[in-house]
Structure 1
């Protein structure tokens, strides 16, 4: 079944006299006098519309998202730890690298989205990118966690900057079209939201693979190699990157063969100079900009996962008494403690995050996106503050329930923001007659990378504030022992997974309060959009 929709035509000129204006959720909305558009109900009307996708297609798309999750998670969860404590790169360099790469993404991501919107390659508008990008992404992922032997620090910084920046560019070319695909797979907003929800859940499960590998290799590798300390860490990360890059890319590639693009948009006509540019359309789309603001302010939520390994290395120790042990035994005990604590953090965050993702489809049936995000983020804020207090006065084990609760917004935002962007693009098309799908989706890609970069920057700044020099510590003590680190430094590192994420979740609710594309207004947009598409010549063909 194909739906052909001309994109660049303006919507039909409306007769102002044929509409009544009414106030619905704070906006003056137009309603036909013939009563053809019903807005009396808050129930999402797309839930009762026709579905176009089978369960197999939805789950195969979700499986591919899981493969992508493996690759992205090895970068997002461990790149700061690898750069600072394994590659031993200067903290200031890592900070500037994160900021520079994100400044470039501010240009690269929208540019990629604009190109994808304009180009119509053979095999589909979005699917071909899924076919051609996995191999370069896999290669760059491996080399991002590979330290060339004998390389000088200056050359290592150049090498790391090139690989990290180039990885981000190629990943964008893969990520933006992939998450734009649900918009082309179905015209039904509810079915699109369901597809994204399932895909983001499986993506989250895939992101747990590097964490599991880290834990397993911490137990297995000591029996297979005599390397210790930093050299052991290099081997560990290199193996994790290799496995995730190969396995994740193969799984991601399957979506090219198992999905269909049903909403086919023909090549757009040349834009009239009097029409706004695609970038201007995005910047003037209020719902979309509010989602972007929410995502940026919620960047601290990534710290629960990204900073866990740093907290495990510097804040807590779980294991046998170290006094009297040999250097080798101490290294093994510290590595085991680090892996255990990091795994506990990741498992707890996974319980909160995946638990929320699994419940979301049912919540979507009863509540709108706005309510779900606000309630979950405020709950996460309260749990984070409680965890901060407990972490100071009590033990690590007492923090576990609060880690779980504070991780709930991770799952909620990671899924719901994509659905909100889809609705915002519906709003843009309804209001302007144009739909910049890939460009709109590129905002989410940029938000994700910016969020992880800001989280990494917070970590680096914490190192700088407390004058933590991993290379100096290893050179003098042979290993990083949290029991020998001052309590204020240990607690300062702990706030990365407690206080800062909580403040971030509180702040992100501010723009959401102004997001009004819900209930009656959303129903009006969907109803009017369906009429506009029909009047502009949408053709549905049975296959």
Structure 2
């Protein structure tokens, strides 16, 4: 028996769903914006050792993420739903692990700081997985309507943007301490570990409250398929997903998108602190990146109807890549010119940032068409792992490049300016690498991902026929 209502969501559903990513991004955004600088400048961990830490964490994620998604898919739903209870209960340990990850324990040796970083970073990653995989899967059971899902994707992006604001706008104004001046008289500021920990604690408590509101405001409408005992196999599901071209290429796109986002967030922290000597202006990077959303959200569904999701996202990423390449070529020392081009890049990124989760739901629906199995947890777990690989690419790449350009964290901490050669190289890696990654995203979308506007229309018809014969659990 099917659920009587599988669509028809209201504004309450949209706001409630947005709150889920808002709660997660309150702390998750700090990884991209501050973690690398916290490790190098506060804990004095060598960049090469940070690379190893990130790689070890991703090896564990390769095991943990698919198993968690498979576990969720194999469980029978409760009265509260299939996904919502996990989000609610794991939000508390997620908040605690976030505070631990950015805690400074006085007078530890570098080896002990590194060990503490291993424990807390991996713990936070596990708790984030525990919350984020069911959260990402939730949209597919809130509604089965394509336009409503697109709307949920946009609201999720809004929630993520709002959740990232405290960490990227407020904290840069609070957590830096003046340590000296350079030869030109410009003020040199460094990250204050104690201030930063206190701010993270406040954001962590707030995240739990927001997750509670998310839980109360969302509803699972699309009933899960009834599974016979022993009917589910994680290996079979992953194998089938690996043969789904649209799914594979979207995983690659998601990986490169998160790699770009984490890389530029981390690199721009160094750039505005050490190159422009204006760490407070870093807050404007977030504004310039997310402000374009306000321009396109009112007309996004009309643009999708006319051009298609794949087509808009591919064009947008190509445009964003071009603006980053222009920044590399002009090599400006004016932070406001830099921010203007960041805004133009944000215009191009907006299509994919707003619609990436709708694309994820599309490829999981394609999996259902091909296999007649709805396995949101496993599908989203694989996407989540691909995104963590992107996070790894950003972390490993950034630290390798910092070592290559001879970045000296001790000089900045001691109030000494970096050499002109190092600062010029810092500018180069902050503009050329994003241009390359954005360009790869565009190529993957245009020539690899194959769910075009016309193919999606056919897939939707096939999906309706499949679901007409589904045997569902009576709610």
Q: What's the TM-score once normalised by structure 2's chain length? A: 0.90
Q: Which runs of 5+ in 2 are unaligned?
A: 180-187
Corresponding position of 1:509: 442
CA distances 1:519-541 after superposition (whole Å, capped 9, x unpaired): 33222221122122213346999
Paired position in structure 1 for 2:182:
none
- Shift of residue 359 of structure 1? 5.0
- Change in CA separation of 1:271 and 1:287 when aligned onto 2, cut-off 3 Å: farther
Alpha carbons of 1:168 and 1:410: their partners in 2 closer, same or farther (altered >3 Å)?
farther
Closer/same/farther in 2, CA of residues 344 and 97 from structure 1, 3 Å limit: same
**Contact 1:109–1:442, Cα closer than 8 Å, also in 2:** yes
Which residue of structure 2 lines up, in the alignment, with residue 457 of structure 1? 396
Q: 2:149 aligns to what?
A: 192
Corresponding residue for residue 18 of structure 1: none
Q: Note the C-alpha offset of 1:417.
A: 2.0
Deviations 1:94-128 (A, max 9, x none): 11111221222122111111111111242211011
What is aligned with 1:87? Answer: 43
Distance 1:490 1:213, change over 3 A: same
Shift of residue 59 of structure 1? 1.3
2:136 to 176, 179, 188: 179
2:297 is the alignment partner of 1:338: no
Q: Match for residue 495 of structure 1? A: 428
1:523 aligns to 2:457 (yes or no): yes
Go from structure 1 to structure 2 and tell me whether the alpha carbon gap of 1:408 and 1:86 turns closer, same or farther (over 3 Å shift).
farther
How big is the shift at 1:257? 1.5
User: Residue 220 of structure 2 corresponds to which residue in structure 1?
Assistant: 261
1:306 to 241, 261, 266: 266
2-structure distance, mates of 1:410, 1:149: 41
Aligned residue among 72, 80, 103 for 1:116: 72
Instruction: Decide which structure has the larger Cα Rg and report it.
Output: 1
What's the secondary structure of 2:365's corresponding residue?
helix
Instruction: Quickly say closer, same or farther: Cα 1:209–1:276, change in 2 above 3 A.
Output: closer
Deviations 1:15-42 (A, max 9, x none): xxxxxxxxxxxxxxxxxxxxxxxxxxxx
Tell me how far apart the structure 1 counterparts of residues 138 and 235 of structure 2 sit (CA, whole Å).
25
Aligned mates of 1:149, 1:539 — CA distance in 2: 55
Matching residue of 1:162: 119
Deviation digits for residues 224-276 of structure 1 (CA, Å, limit 9, x no counterpart): xxxx976x611221122112111122102222211111112145224569997
The 5 Å alignment of 1:348-427 reads 348-352=288-292, 355-356=295-296, 359-392=299-332, 395-427=334-366
C-alpha separation in 1, matches of 2:234 and 2:168: 48
Q: Is the 8 A contact 2:140 2:361 kept in 1?
A: yes
**What is the CA distance between 1:84 and its match in structure 2?**
1.0
Q: Distance in 2 between matches of 1:273 and 1:343?
A: 46
Q: List structure 1 runs of 4+ shifted beyond 6 angstroms.
A: 219-222, 272-276
Q: Find 1:137's aligned residue among 94, 97, 109.
A: 94
Aligned to 1:431: 370
| CA-atom RMSD in angstroms | 2.8
Q: CA deviation at 1:67?
A: 1.9
Determine the structure 2 residue equivalent to 1:37. Answer: none
Partner of 1:269: helix, strand, or coil? coil
8 Å contact 2:178–2:189 — kept in the other structure? no
1:447 corresponds to which residue? Answer: 386
Question: Equivalent of 1:98, from 51, 54, 68?
Answer: 54
Aligned residue for 2:100, secondary structure, equals: helix
Counterpart of 1:280 (choices 239, 248, 254) is: 239
CA distance in 2, matches of 1:274, 1:199: 30
Contact 2:176 2:192 in 1 (8 A): no
Task: Report Cα offsets for 1:360-387 as digits up to 9, x if no partner.
Answer: 3442232211111111111111100111
Structure 1: 5+ residue runs without aligned partners? 5-48, 223-227, 318-336
Post-superposition Cα deviations, 1:304-358, rounded to whole Å, max 9, x if no partner, equal 32221111222122xxxxxxxxxxxxxxxxxxx322x322333322334664556
Q: Take 1:149 and 1:359, find their aligned partners in 2: how far apart are those partners?
A: 52
Count residues in correspondence.
Answer: 464
Cα separation, partners in 2 of 1:408 and 1:528, compared to 1, 3 Å = same
**TM-aligned CA distance change 1:95 to 1:384, over 3 Å:** same
Aligned partners of 2:356 and 2:349: how far apart in 1? 11
**Which residue does the alignment assign to 1:31?**
none
Deviation digits for residues 270-294 of structure 1 (CA, Å, limit 9, x no counterpart): 4569997111111111111010122
88, 100, 103: which one aligns with 1:146: 103
Q: How does 1:288-327 map to 2 (within 5 A)?
A: 288-298=247-257, 299-317=259-277
1:470 aligns with 2:409: yes
> Is contact 1:304-1:407 (8 Å) kept?
no
Name 2:31's counterpart in structure 1.
75
Flag the 1:305–1:197 CA change in 2: closer, same or farther, 3 A.
same
CA distance in 2, matches of 1:367, 1:203: 25
After the TM superposition, which of the residue ranges 460-469 and 293-302 deviates more from structure 2? 293-302
Distance in 2 (alpha carbons) for counterparts of 1:275 and 1:132: 24
- 1:395 Cα shift? 2.8
TM-score w.r.t. the length of structure 1 is: 0.79
